[in-house]
Amino acid sequence: MIESIYSPAANRYDGVMQYRRSGKSGILMSALSLGFWHNFGSISNFANCKAMIHCAFDNGITCYDLANNYGPTYGTAEETFGRLMDVSMRPYRDEMFITTKAGYDMWPGPYGDFGSRKYLMSSLDQSLKRMHLDYVDLFYSHRFDPNTPLEETCQALVDIVRAGKALYAGISNYPDEAARFAYDYLKAHDVPCLCHQIKRNMIVRNDSALETAADCNVGVVAFSPLAQGLLTNRYLNGIPADSRMARREALTEDSLTPELMSQIRALQQIADERGESLAQMALAWVLHRKEVTSVIIGTSSVAQMKDNLKVLESQPFSDEQLARIDSVLNA
Ligand SMILES: NC(=O)c1ccc[n+]([C@@H]2O[C@H](COP(=O)([O-])OP(=O)(O)OC[C@H]3O[C@@H](n4cnc5c(N)ncnc54)[C@H](OP(=O)(O)O)[C@@H]3O)[C@@H](O)[C@H]2O)c1
């Protein structure tokens, strides 16, 4: 069967999606980014992957977040991305802001993990091959390595940018002091850190990382805004067979404690009063802080993505609603 050529929505930049500046850089990121951690690997249905990236692009999402080991299995999310570029997205490369990372375990032996120059350089070369790209827009050191001099990791990021393999450099999951060091080092070497990617949702907040980045004019990209699906209606009536928890990938049944379930129900009630889904409210909560440049969503269907895109219509929070959310979560 001959597939029809993808033709993106003509109104994709019609003012619904917000674009936020990353720190004091020249880069605007879409308020929502699409993440490839779980739903784009070799076990995922390619037609569904294609429908999701088209839905994202049609709705003004310009930012696509990958890492070397996203899948499952490792590397296969980048391979899917390469296929998506080949089948439909290549004409829009310059409208896309594509990121990848290295820092967690990727291949066996001493050079496939953490933060050495050897690992970061060879991993990015592998990623570019899998993604069928000449360069990525942003390359991240995925985590702080306590055993590698931070100068070495940061210099590798500088050299990657100077080699034209990435246009910008960023860090992810760094403790505060190391983040400040990286911001200073990168700035001193004329490759200012574009953003810090951190976990941020109503439950896990990482306020100090947010404030440190803002203090240093660095953007903040938030991941797991829905706590991997816990901050949605997904688990209110058991564990759906097609869920991340049922697949036991990074989210397990023991997280559904009675206390958490009652908190989720209380949050659901606040979302009902606001006239939105819990997922929408959870995303709105992350986006309400102006320091947040973009929130990375990880969806397993177009229906979830459409639900999440409705956050762009969310009303601002009242002080009373924010206080109730804090009180439900003992924050
Ligand atoms: N830098 C890092 O270390 C790091 C770490 C983690 C993630 N990330 C990035 O951040 C991205 C997002 O992380 P995440 O996947 O944990 O994000 P998340 O948005 O917290 O969770 C995504 C999951 O929530 C469920 N979901 C999404 N929208 C929903 C909706 N409207 N209603 C009900 N359920 C919904 C889906 O679960 P089901 O699959 O069960 O349907 C989906 O797979 C990743 O893809 C990755 O790019 C980075």
pLDDT in tens, 56-85: 999 999 999 999 999 999 999 999 999 999
What integer pLDDT is reported at residue 249 of this predicted model? Answer: 77
Domains of the chain: 19-235+279-317 (3.20.20.100)
Q: Find the 223 Cα to ligand 1 centroid distance in Å.
A: 8
Pick from 55, 51, 41, 14: which is nearest to 308 by CA?
A: 55
Residue 1's pLDDT is what? 60
Q: What share of the chain is helix, strand, coil (3-state, %, to 5)?
A: 40, 15, 45
Residue 63 near residue 33 (C-beta atoms within 8 A): yes
pLDDT-derived band at 5 (thresholds 50, 70, 90) equals confident
To test ligand 1's pocket by mutation, which of 297, 301, 311 has the most ligand atoms within 8 angstroms of CB? Answer: 297
**Strand 19-21 to 292-297 pairing:** unpaired
Residue nearest to atom 15 of ligand 1 (CA): 298
Mean pLDDT for 216-226 is: 98
Instruction: Give the model confidence (pLDDT) of 172-196 as tens digits.
Output: 999 999 999 999 999 999 999 999 9
Cα–Cα distance between 321 and 310 in angstroms, integer? 19
Ligand 1 pocket, CB under 6 A:
35-39, 65, 142, 172-173, 197, 223-229, 232, 234, 243-244, 279, 296-300, 304, 307-308
Task: Decide if pLDDT at 248 tops 90.
Answer: no
- Judged on CB neighbours under 10 Å (0-12, 13-18, 19+), 310 is middle
**Whether the predicted pLDDT of 108 surpasses 90:** yes
